[in-house]
Structure 1
């Protein structure tokens, strides 16, 4: 069974979201997603100051098996990308909820409000069990 962290929110497309500031969220892909992708060899994320609506593609993740789109789980503007992934994309496999985070977004309104429509940990567990 893949690891699902109780304090995070999740998208149906297998991104996790963590509130890290009043208007800031950090995003990455779930343990389930990185297991499905296999060994990740490249992570591409849109540059800071790029705006995105919820559900917009903001990059891609390339593994030895496939290339998958990375979708923004909330509306906002990319504030920061994880530069460590340029040299160590495998961090997404090794530590998807820690060092393998992908981007931080500044949201309109509050971060707590922005994540309310996303899946809770229990809802995400049920989603991946289907």
Structure 2
């Protein structure tokens, strides 16, 4: 069962379920999608960027980016429809971060795991070490 929520676009009260916006905003988004799709389906507009599509259709760039992120507009068919990486801002066609940022994050995680394994090994080694006290030195 859905939960009662306010629409993030217009603030209207609706039951949040499958959709994240109210029915009116959903219909508006669908009309905007049809407008964008009709625009970029034309041969002369297939290489248009998100900015050019927005200017040509009057649809907001954030909404066009949403369509690309949801994979409603396929990058294979429309290669210049890109949006910015959430970390560095470089243009990407899928996901949230670019390959370069992904590699940097993976490298940092690998380094952190290596440090943790060394620290764990050092703790285990120090726990297995025994110390003795020579009683001769304690006598007076």
What is the TM-score normalised by the length of structure 2?
0.21
**Structure showing the higher strand proportion among its residues:** 1
Higher RCO (CA 8 Å, separation ≥ 6 residues): 1
Larger-Rg structure: 2
